[in-house]
Amino acid sequence: MPLDRYLREHVLGPLGMEHSDLVRSGRVRARLATGYQLRSRGLRAVRDYENVPAGAGSVYSTTSDIARYAAALLGGGANEHGRVLQPQTLAAMFQPHYQPDPRIPGMGLGFFRGQAGEHPTVSHDGIWTGFHSALLLAPGRGIGVVAFANTGPFSPLAAAGPVAGAVLRSLLHLPDDTAGADIPEQPWSWRDLCGWYSLGPGVLTDPQPRMLGGAEVAIRHGHLIVRGQIPVPAVRRGLRLHPDGDDPDAFRINLPGPGSGTTPVVFSRDPGGQVTAMHLGIMPLSFRKRPGIQDPRPWTAGALGAGALTLAAGHWHRRDRAARKRS
């Protein structure tokens, strides 16, 4: 059975999601929104692509339909229209199935795990040029938030996620999620943590982690920071690593952007005490430490320069051959 038909018959239909589909069928085509990006002269509509969302698990949907889906997730696999999962199956999906370090929430089956105060959360977002979406749930409290936006770039720092997080924290009567400076720093442990880190294997097929590149942990102005290669000024300048409790290898960073909240950053060591990796709670992502590498950026620049010279040489070689043929 085709995946879109299976989805309609076994998920969308039973949950009353009449305006959702995997493909641009008659259920969704007439109600497609226009996406925009903010340019120097104002909002500009993005070019419409009929992408293939099935491999990513994505759907064309509406806020009302996703709200019905959220209700089913909060209702143990069922909403007022019907049931698609047993409660124990859904609970298993919310549990960590990928957790590179026990100090970060990890990943469930299709759900990013997190924490809002003392309340465990599960979420997933959608990012496409001109479109951002977020689904954020606190299952233990029976509260869910859905946020859709039709303006924005293709960026992992999407606007819908912070909005959903701020609304959820307001409903839970929680203060803003910020990493403060009330826990004493432990600078005697920083030397082991400083250095260059690169993404681990198996992540380059996903465009979002690929945008992040590598990361450097360094000491700047008397504080420990982490900075990445993503084209976001705050990340390139460096985000301060705030201590997260008594563990000298556990920190939190304030994510850039208003209301973006925080995420844990922890370092793991081998049995001999050597730092081997850095793990981010967001997504989650793991970076392997590159011992002995002082600064890989000159290598990158050299590789890019060599590539440019190769392309230029090929270009002039082709031009020379063409000229000789004409003569």
Q: What is the DSSP string of 272-322?
A: TS-EEEEEETTTTEEEEE-TT-S-SHHHHHHHHHHHHHHHHHHHHHHHHHH
pLDDT band at 56 (very low <50, low <70, confident <90, very high): low
Determine which of 58-67, 116-125, 275-284, 317-326 has the lowest per-residue pLDDT on average: 317-326
Contact (Cβ atoms closer than 8 angstroms) between residue 115 and residue 101: no
Cα angle 62-68-73, degrees, rounded to a multiple of 5:
125
| Residue 160, pLDDT score | 86
| Residue 311, pLDDT score | 41
C-alpha closest to that of 257 among 170, 177, 173: 177
Mind listing the pLDDT tens digit for each residue in 111-151? 999 999 999 999 999 888 899 999 999 999 999 999 999 99
Mean pLDDT value across the chain: 85
Mean predicted confidence (pLDDT) in 178-202: 87
- Say if residue 2's pLDDT is above 50: yes
- What is the C-alpha separation between 252 and 261, in angstroms, rounded? 10
| Residue 149, pLDDT score | 92
Tokens of 321: 């051959």
**SS3 for 205?**
coil
pLDDT band at 235 (very low <50, low <70, confident <90, very high): confident
pLDDT band at 319 (very low <50, low <70, confident <90, very high): very low
Structural domains of the chain, ranges and CATH numbers in brackets: 3-171 (3.40.710.10), 187-289 (2.40.128.50)
Percent of the chain with pLDDT over 90: 59
Mean predicted confidence (pLDDT) in 41-60: 79
Mind listing the pLDDT tens digit for each residue in 296-306? 554 344 333 43
Q: Which residue has the higher pLDDT, 24 or 325?
A: 24
| Residue 257, pLDDT score | 79
